[in-house]
Structure 1
């Protein structure tokens, strides 16, 4: 069997397994749970504010009040992010070298226009709002280039209060969290696949995600801190150089998806497999 046939067969089997009745392991083949353990998110009534539909909220009441793209603090932060992306994290190949893992938007199956890549080491350290060590990078799906950073307010993987973006005399805290089931599931999926939480018996879906902050390096019609990605027309980027990855896909010609990544970057269990077990997803 040639390499192409092996790749197609493996990914076909991965997706076919989503229809199975139970998931016995998660992650990248390193989970220590036994084959007889069912790793499934637990659903109960311990999250009264959670919703089935996608919802988000500000981590600080009125958090966007006082935020302005032209404010010196915003300009300084965005410039630092732009410099970091240009010098350290310009494209997918650089992300892989730096330890970032493909995360995409887990259940956003119809949108290949951009993707989240996440760095477990940076989520686990003390640097929350450091442009040199962003917890997550936002990657354009067509050019395979980084277009923004997402910071996550965690230390040692645990949720903490987010730091201010502006000085104390200017109110601006554009951090947001997700309380809807899709967002909560996305964070749960990350913890199971890349932090191996199931191995420690932690399989409960969180009531909400940690606080997160987008900083877009390309122009965005809404805000530097906007939650949604900028329109495709605002991402007129030259395709990245051919990545040194074992894939026949090419930036500019092939969308960046699970299917176009080399096998060694694809987790053993994809989001759809778990979503098949969850009512409402």
Structure 2
């Protein structure tokens, strides 16, 4: 695109992507060139941490018992779909409801969907509650909501998450009681975290329990940890409260996709683009020159009041990691 004088112009989105990719690659390259591998200098404070994306499964996690056609899965997914349809159908509705956007640029990868988190729902008394989803997942092409991500925290601390269902459950019993977090305050992490070399983050599954569906996971890779740290720093003022470094692991998280997904309702990775195709809304729901379905959802299409002072690309993977 050229301006009236013939000088080349680069879109803000292009600059953001380029800078994010350069930051991610330079940080990884620096550590690996020094012979540190994927763990490297992260091993001091956080022995399980990796520079590249990695995840582990929370204590008691099991995916073997999960089935898309189980009555509990069907009921939970329908409950989530109803809430998204009625309250949070798209980015405009999420902004109006108080959700805060996060676009994944720190890892230099464009996944095609974004996480929108609600500060009042993160850390409240509810766990696995479709009416109070900690995060809504939004397709960046259509600007439509395509699922939720539940986060197991109470206050500022991670908690041991509940199973979606156990053996003998004929359906989904609804979210746990409000005092669940008070009685389950362990962090919920499993004992061992696989290295990137041993288990690629999207191929590793916990030892299965065919009688239990509890597909909760945490992130130990730098991009996931920094994404959580960024949210807490920017939207919860954690930095001002003295929490300077990212946690060694994120809290336990669980996806429920309301669009079809080849890997199932609880899949960790996002659905392929062809599964995310939705009819975009006619009205974006906020003041913007961009159009859903034509322009990709990102920081540069949002109104100024919805964009934080510091964007993820203003941080690097080295921030808070001691690199």
TM-score, normalised with respect to structure 2: 0.71
Distance in 1 (alpha carbons) for counterparts of 2:300 and 2:109: 13
Is 1:226–2:225 an aligned residue pair? no
* Matched residue, 2:106: 107
Candidates 226, 239, 244, aligned match of 2:280 = 239
* Matched residue, 1:34: none
* Matched residue, 2:234: 193
Deviations 1:83-142 (A, max 9, x none): 111111101111011110011224244416211101011003111111011000000111
Quote the offset at 1:243 in angstroms: 2.1
* Count of aligned residue pairs for this structure pair: 248
After superposition, residues 15-54 of structure 1 pair within 5 angstroms as 45-54=44-53
8 Å CA contact 2:80–2:258 kept in 1: the answer is yes
Larger mean CA deviation between 195-204 and 240-249 belongs to 240-249
Quote the offset at 1:162 in angstroms: 0.6
8 Å CA contact 2:43–2:49 kept in 1: the answer is no
Quote the offset at 1:181 in angstroms: 1.1
8 Å CA contact 1:106–1:186 kept in 2: the answer is no
Secondary structure of the 1:147 match is strand
Is 1:269–2:268 an aligned residue pair? no
Secondary structure of the 2:247 match is coil
Distance in 1 (alpha carbons) for counterparts of 2:236 and 2:105: 16
Distance in 1 (alpha carbons) for counterparts of 2:291 and 2:111: 14
Is 1:175–2:175 an aligned residue pair? no
Deviations 1:137-185 (A, max 9, x none): 0001111000000000011132111111003553111000001111111
* Matched residue, 2:201: none
Distance in 1 (alpha carbons) for counterparts of 2:314 and 2:67: 41
Distance in 2 (alpha carbons) for counterparts of 1:188 and 1:251: 29
Change (3 A) 1:103 1:264: same
Q: Which runs of 4+ in 1 moved over 3 A?
A: 276-281
Quote the offset at 1:44 in angstroms: 7.4
8 Å CA contact 1:65–1:171 kept in 2: the answer is yes
Candidates 236, 255, 276, aligned match of 1:214 = 255
8 Å CA contact 2:222–2:317 kept in 1: the answer is no
8 Å CA contact 2:290–2:301 kept in 1: the answer is yes
* Matched residue, 1:24: none
* Matched residue, 1:251: 292
Is 1:138–2:114 an aligned residue pair? no
Larger mean CA deviation between 143-152 and 110-119 belongs to 110-119
Gap regions ≥5 residues in structure 2: 1-8, 21-41, 169-210
Gap regions ≥5 residues in structure 1: 1-7, 20-42
Secondary structure of the 1:154 match is strand
Secondary structure of the 1:218 match is coil
Distance in 2 (alpha carbons) for counterparts of 1:95 and 1:62: 30
Quote the offset at 1:264 in angstroms: 1.1
Distance in 1 (alpha carbons) for counterparts of 2:278 and 2:79: 19
8 Å CA contact 2:217–2:252 kept in 1: the answer is yes
Quote the offset at 1:229 in angstroms: 1.0
Larger mean CA deviation between 70-79 and 105-114 belongs to 105-114
